[in-house]
Amino acid sequence: MPVAVPAVQAPLVRQVPPEAPSIVRSPLPLPPPRTWSVLALLVLALLTPSSAARAQGSLRWVEVDLTVDGSGRADVAYQARWRTSGTMHGFYFEGTATTPTFTGGTAELPGGRTVPLSITRAGSDRWDVVLAGGEAWGPGEATYTFSYRSDLAAAGPVDLTTGPAGEELVVLNWSPVAWDEALEHETLVLHLPTVPTGASGDIGLDGATAIGLRTEPWVNDRYLITYMGEGSPPSLWVRFHRDGVGAREGHRIQIYLPAEHFPGLAEAAEARQAEERAARERRREAAAQATRARLTHLLPTLLAVALVTLLFAGRKLRGIARAHATAPDILWERDDWEPPRLRLSSFRKEGKVADLWYLEALVLLGVPFRVVLAMVLDLLELRGRLRRETRNGQLLLGQLGEGPDDADEPYQAFVWQALPDAESEPVPPADLAARLGELIVGTIQRKAWDADLDATREHYRHLFEELFPDVAAVEGTRFDEEKELAHYYPWWISHHYTDGPGVWSRGPAPFEGAGGELGGAGASGRFDVDLAAFGPRPERSSMAAFGADDLLPVYEHAACHSACHSACHSACHSACHSACHSACHSACHSACHSACVSGGSH
């Protein structure tokens, strides 16, 4: 069944404010049927026999060509113009909404020579786009062109929905990949061969409205838009153009069209929904079988516990009777009684370093909990597990994909489980930073109960300084393998730090300002991210704010929370998933693509 999209409102096509007219003539020439656009990491030029110099290229502009058929399948083509003063081979490409099936590509080099491209996998969702045969080019400018096929209906960017009056619509909510550097311009050209226009050439806003096209208000505010009819018979062609695109800025569009133009989409959607229902039924049956199995084993255990309890109670009663009989022999009213001396001692061993995980060590060094939450959220987004949206200036978070493993990533799992599932509306972070901080502090107390905390701080301070001594050491660093992410958290601080090479030095604490904060037991600095979006400052903003009397209740809270949360989460998830699906489907379309951006030369 289609789902309601409250965001769709009359008029059918949003009028653009005067400063950004909806129907414009692009300052660029009209692109050919395949316009190209890419999100990429620059590739540092490799050393060649003819030159010992290496240069990093810069990206000038990107153009994307998207063709969507009546079943929601798409042909996507990218064109990217690079410039280098030295030599260059290629770049990395990542961040697509679906797994692409590449259909080839070429590069037009300085002088007009065309060279085929070699596109190979360089990670789970990352491809290396280089000149075939190990060729290089430069200095000058070159245009890389390549394309791939993808099923947008299966992935979700193309789906059935309903309008305000209950009419059946198809929504296209899609974005090309984002870039890690600013662009002179970015253009997306959308071809819809199954949507007839009745006329060729410029059909204008009125013509687009007449065929049932609708857009979200922010689409008209953000882009210069041109509507045309192309081909014979003419079908809809729409261009979304934008000048001066910032680094990591997306180029997302969200439009609606009558469902009658996409006849194969309903059949494909029904097949997917049937498979989802079958999968839910299999999960419910598996859960029921697991419950029956637990009860089968639990009942004998309870009987055994009851029997042991009765035996223990009998022995205890006999002991009380003996104590009553010997009471006159242990009276305290004696002149020769000497009270015992209370001996105070510490279990901590001087010089002993606690075995802490990287995130725990950063908290011990005084990193505030809001900074810790920012690190965990960025890593969840990097792994495709987080929905991050901003509405009316407020940050909203939700689950995406499969959750992290509790054993390998306990803090990622804690944050992920605290967020609403993918079928529910995202929510503000609220007190998430404080709860995450209490969990980490409690874990540190358990691990470091007999350790020397000063020695532990110095150990990890030196370790982080060796891993990432300054900002320059992390510039361009990426994590290609899962095992490399072990160093992600200290790298994150070095990467966002903006005050020079002293991020791991002993500095004033705490320090805050210019969008960030850091400090407490040692480190100090400033970040280029706005931490205010992660909710109000916790009452105890870092581990330095906890006294000795606070640590035991914090530890008890951390130990109990994980066990209770996991038990309740599994029981409720299946029941809520189905009920929330239709109400929250529209929110799922805005999953962030900024987690995976191309960039970094090689």
CA–CA gap between residue 146 and residue 102 (Å, rounded): 8
- Could you tell me the pTM of the whole model? 0.44
Residue 197 scores a pLDDT above 70: yes
| Beta bridge partners of residue 121, listed in sequence order | 127
Mean pLDDT lowest among 27-31, 343-347, 473-477: 27-31
Residue 263 scores a pLDDT above 70: yes
Q: Say what the pLDDT of residue 120 is.
A: 94
CATH class belonging to 3-263: mainly beta
Mean pLDDT of 575-580: 41
User: What tokens appear for 451 in the block?
Assistant: 């350790």
* Annotated domain spans of the chain: 3-263, 358-570
The dihedral region occupied by 244, where left means phi > 0, alpha psi between -120 and 50, and beta the remainder, is left
CA 29 to chain centre: 37
Banded model confidence at residue 233, pLDDT cuts 50, 70, 90: very high
More confident position, 300 or 563 = 300
What share of the chain in percent tops pLDDT 70? 67
Q: Say what the pLDDT of residue 196 is.
A: 95
What's the whole-number average pLDDT of the chain?
75
Q: Say what the pLDDT of residue 484 is.
A: 65
Residue 191 scores a pLDDT above 90: yes
3-state secondary structure of 108: strand
Mean pLDDT lowest among 81-95, 427-441, 454-468, 543-557: 543-557
Residue 471 scores a pLDDT above 90: no
More confident position, 315 or 161 = 161
- Contact of 428 with 396, CB cutoff 8 Å: yes
Q: What is the pLDDT of residues 382-423, one digit of tens each?
A: 888 899 888 887 889 999 888 887 767 889 999 999 999 888
Whether the link from the prior residue into 510 is cis, omega within 30° of 0, is: yes
Q: What is the CA radius of gyration of the chain?
A: 31
CA 220 to chain centre: 27
Residue 154 scores a pLDDT above 80: yes
- Nearest Cα to Cα of residue 145 among 116, 93, 183, 105: 105
More confident position, 274 or 75 = 75
Residue 329 scores a pLDDT above 60: no
Mean pLDDT of 492-511: 62
Banded model confidence at residue 315, pLDDT cuts 50, 70, 90: confident
CA–CA gap between residue 105 and residue 98 (Å, rounded): 19
Q: What is the pLDDT of residues 356-387, one digit of tens each?
A: 988 898 888 888 888 889 889 988 888 888 99
Residue 513 scores a pLDDT above 70: no
Q: What is the pLDDT of residues 5-38, one digit of tens each?
A: 333 333 333 333 333 333 333 333 333 433 333 3
Rounded to 10 degrees, what is the CA torsion of 199, 204, 209, 215? Answer: 130
Banded model confidence at residue 125, pLDDT cuts 50, 70, 90: confident
- Contact of 81 with 88, CB cutoff 8 Å: no
Query: Going by C-beta distance under 8 Å and a sequence separation of 6 or more, which residues neighbour residue 529?
Result: 374, 496, 515, 516
552 CB-contact burial (10 Å; exposed 0-12 / middle 13-18 / buried 19+): exposed
CA–CA gap between residue 490 and residue 477 (Å, rounded): 12
More confident position, 60 or 489 = 60
Mean pLDDT of 480-501: 69
Banded model confidence at residue 280, pLDDT cuts 50, 70, 90: confident
